[in-house]
Structures are given as C-alpha cells and as structure tokens.
Amino acid sequence: MENDLFAAYDSNPNFTGREDILDRLRDASGSERPVALVGADGNGKTLIAAEYARARMAEYDFVCWVRAGDPITLISDYAELNKTLGLPDTENLVEAAEAVLIWLEQYDRWLLIFDDASDPGILADYLPRGGSGQVIITSSRPGWDEVAATLVLGTLDRAGSVRLLLRRSGREDEKAAEALAEALGDLPLALEMAGAYIAWTKVSLSRYLEMYKKRLQEIDPRGIPAPVVAAFEISFEQVRAVSSKAVEYLNMCALLAPRDLPIDLLIGASVLLPQDLETATEALSRRGLVGSGKNHLSVHPLVQALVLRHLDEESRKSWIEATLVAMGEAFSAYMENIFTWPECARLIPHVLTASEHAEEEEACSEAASTLLNQVGLYLHRRSYFAGAKEVLERLLTLDEKTYGQDHPEVAIDLNNLGSLLRVMGDLDGAKAMLERALAIEEAAEEADSLKIAIRANNLGTVLRVMGDLEGAKAMFQRSLALDEAAYGPNHFKTAIRINNMGEVLQDLGDLEGARRNYEQALLVFRRFLGEDHHYTLRAQDNLDSLYEEEGSS
C-alpha cells in the first residue's frame, strides 16, 4: 500500500542509469540506518527515490512519502500516514504523528521516504528507531553523516545521459546524442527538457545542439546551472509562441510548492486556471516544463525559479496576489469541516510557499494576511501549536510591515498569538501580546468597544492563570460592562463575561458573589443555548464546584 503523495509519482518510462545508486540503496535495505541521497537540484534525487520504490514495491507492505522541506509540511504529511497504516484517525496532528512513529518502530516491510529534507534537525522527531523498514532521505544540503549513510549524487554518467536523451527524444543517433549530452553537462533536468522538446518538435539532435549553443551565449545563469537555463529558455520560448494560457498557468504553478500541485482543489476558486486545463498541461509537459500524469502535476523548483525571472516586479506581485486569493478561497472552503481537513493539509505547503513569495517581493496584502491567519487557526485547532505559532508570528511581521505597528489588523494578530501562547504555557509572552493588542484598540481613532471587551477578557484570562486575581477581576469587570452595554444583561455573550467574573470571584474567596454570577449565567445559557451546550455545562460545573467548596468550609 502507498500513500497518496507517493501514488502521485507515476512510473517514469524514460528513467535510465543510476544503477550504482540503486544497487547501494538495495544493499542498505537491511540496515537500520537511513540512507541520504544528497546532491544539487536538478540531479534527479527525487526521481531516483521514486523509481527505487516502484522497482521494489513487492518487498514492502507500505510505501510512505513525506515532504520534509519545512516543519509544518513535514508533520502534516507524516500525520496523514496514519490513514495509510490503518491507524485510528485523530484531529491532533502531534498525536497522529506520534502514533505513526510508534507503529513504524514496531513493524517491518515498510519504506519511508523523506523528500527534499532541509536539514538533519528537522527529522529528529520522525526517524524511526528499532524498526525493520527502510528510510531514504533526499536533500540538496550536505551534513547528513551523523544520522544517515550519505550517497552523494552527481550528474549522470555519459552512457546514462545518452540513453536518456535517446529514450526521451525518440531518436537513434548515438553520436549526436553524446555530443548533446556533453554540452548539457549530463544534467538530468537539462537532458529531460531537451529530450522532451526534440520529441515534440521533431527537430534533430544536431539541430537542437546548434540552438542550444546559440542560446547558451545569450543567457545569464545567476546561480542556476547554465545548461538548465538554456534548455529551459528554448522550451519556454516555444510555449509562449503557441499558448499564452499555458504560460499563465505556469506562472501560477511557479508560485506554489513544487510537488502535488492542488489544481483540482483550486478549480472554481481561481480565474487564473485556463478553461482547458488538459490542453495547457499537455503544452507544458510535452516540452518538459512540468511533470504530469493521471494522478499529479509537479514543477521542478529550478523551473519555477526560471519562470518567475520572466515576470517583472509588477507582474510578479500581481500573480502573487491572485494566487493568494485563489488559495484563500479554496482553504476557507475546507477549513470549517473536519472531514475536509485532508484537503487543507494538501493546500498548506502551497499556502506557505505562496506567502513566502509575497514576503520576498513585499507584496503583502489582505489576501496574504487572511490566508496565513486561516492556516494558523487550522494548525491551532489541530493542536500543532509550534506550527501555529510560526505562522502567526509570520503573519504579525507581515501585517506590521503592511499596516504599521498600531493598526487594528495588528491588534487581531496580537490577540490570536497571545491566545495561542497562553495555551502553550508562555504566560509572559501571552500577557505582552494581549496588553499590546488592548492598547492598540484603546488608542484607535474610532475605538470599537466590543473589540476592547474581547481583548480585556482575554488579558484577564491570562492574568488569572498567572495569579494576578485583582488584575484579572479588573479586566473582567471592564469586559462585562462593555458587553452588557452593547447586548444587555440577558444575552449569552454577556453571560460568558458574567461566568468569567464568577470564576475570579471564587478564586478571590467571594463565594457569594461567585454564586450569583454562576446562577445568572446558567439561567441565560439554558434559555438561549440549551442544556447540553458547552457554556451551559461549564457554568453548571462551576456552580457545583462552588457548592462543594461551600459545603467543605
């Protein structure tokens, strides 16, 4: 059985060479130590891992693919493996990931691939110990020797390059293929784009070599291997000549994470997608610019970078904004229903990537803010507090740059981050955030009393936990007065504040005052929310605990 991420990698009929690497991976299958495939982008690390897994499917009961470029995507993918492994489902991402790790450490006949891992530290909590399966890591960064047996991956050997070119292009001229392979530096990504172009346009290998040499003199690599840049430019130029819609489609894809592009989830949420997706995808895949199959769409990170170079600053910002809007519409459509959280999990790496582009281009906007806020709340709901904190901190930084330090939008960010820090036990941090949020609301030209009530109530909750009962009481009194003025004494929102006041009065030893508050809140909750609502149950529990305290005194 395989998880959906691995299922997205269709078998590549043009895969060739790398026999030595495949043999070494096979030899390592009986070892408890992971194997790290390390090499520069464009050398085919991911493809090798996928082809190795495909070739050895019969030897494993489970093949699991996890993207490991950042902590949030990593835990999200890892937790989703509980479905593949037949484990009980849970809303808590951390608990789900822990259950997967325990299972892997107890059973065998599994293959676990961490793709595009950023560094060894990111995998510290996810590498199984004592299991009898096999772990493969792919990474473009060195430094894996302490946790894995490292296999350094260079370019293809010349014979492999020639075979790849001939298979991909459908040509038979080995001498011409060898000359072209040499010119392309035996780089798999460049060979793939060249072969795809030749197959589609029917030009000869020799003619392509002439085109390539001319283009090589015109490019500015800027940190990307020159053969990759030149091959890309040849293919991209032809796509631009035949399909502007395909180019626009590729522009959006360049702003998302490179694997498992969620085009199916964005349909209906984005005007950026061409009406004829199949034709646009075919125009790009036939020229080697995207990887596509019946189950997936992917774009190599180097191709994404080169696509974005073709956009001027204004165009990049425009595409970023439109992509963020589309992502926001899609994410919000799935966020409120726990049964569609797997769709949210698919979207998260793309949300993070698109928002990073917004930050880099200083294309910060309401769409970026809204989207990051949604992701932060989603991760909070799924109890991945560290990830939620990272996202909400990014959001705060973005909004401070966009709106200024004292804007109401910043107050919202501070409030959400402060509430999260309280749950995480960072009470000092939570207090600082909530005090600042309250100060911003108070200083606004048109102060919103209801927002002030919310900020004061949240700050009071933190102060109560910190033991500052008089400070908490003052905040609850303020919040209650504002909500009572807005809603009246018999509204359920007012009753929430009344119940909170009762709790701090009980802490202070004012049992009579606490009892009056609990009884009043309970009466309102029962009338408007019913006997089984969690607010009703909380007020009843508070009253019961008070009776017990009174009875024991």
Q: Which residues of 526-544 are buried (b: 16+ CB within 10 A; e: fewer)?
A: beebeeeeebbebbbebbe
3-state SS, residue 127:
coil
For residue 7, pLDDT beyond 70: no
3-state SS, residue 93:
helix
3-state SS, residue 205:
helix
> Each residue of 320-379: pLDDT tens digit?
999 999 999 999 989 988 889 999 999 999 999 999 999 888 877 888 899 999 999 999
Q: Where are the domains of the chain?
A: 4-152, 155-242, 493-553
Identity at 188, one-letter amino acid code: P
For residue 271, pLDDT beyond 70: no
Highest CATH level, class, for 4-152: alpha beta
> Each residue of 131-141: pLDDT tens digit?
679 999 999 99
Q: What is the pLDDT of residue 110?
A: 93
Mean pLDDT taken over the chain:
91
What is the percent of the chain where pLDDT is above 90?
75
Q: Which of 329, 336, 380, 318 is nearest to 351 (CA)?
A: 329
For residue 151, pLDDT beyond 90: yes
Rounded CA gap, 347 and 70, in Å? 14
Rounded CA gap, 461 and 464, in Å? 5
Lowest mean pLDDT of 360-369, 435-444, 464-473, 538-547, name the range: 360-369
Backbone dihedral region of 407: left (phi > 0), alpha (psi from -120 to 50 degrees) or beta? beta
Rounded CA gap, 103 and 81, in Å? 10
Identity at 487, one-letter amino acid code: Y
Q: What is the pLDDT of residue 17?
A: 78
Q: Which residues of 159-191 are buried (b: 16+ CB within 10 A; e: fewer)?
A: ebbbbbbbbbbebeeeebbbebbebbbbbbbbb
Q: Where are the alpha helices (DSSP H) in 405-533?
A: 408-424, 427-443, 449-466, 469-487, 492-507, 511-528
Q: Which residues of 419-430 are buried (b: 16+ CB within 10 A; e: fewer)?
A: bbbbeeebbebb
How sure is the predictor about 189, in pLDDT bands with cuts at 50, 70 and 90? Answer: very high
> Each residue of 62-84: pLDDT tens digit?
999 999 999 999 999 999 999 99
Rounded CA gap, 247 and 237, in Å? 10
Kindly state the greatest CA–CA separation across the chain: 98
Backbone dihedral region of 380: left (phi > 0), alpha (psi from -120 to 50 degrees) or beta? alpha
Q: What is the pLDDT of residue 318?
A: 93
| Beta carbons within 10 angstroms of residue 29's beta carbon | 15
Q: What is the pLDDT of residue 89?
A: 87
For residue 195, pLDDT beyond 80: yes
387: its two tokens: 């990830």
How sure is the predictor about 295, in pLDDT bands with cuts at 50, 70 and 90? Answer: low
> Each residue of 21-41: pLDDT tens digit?
888 888 888 788 899 999 999
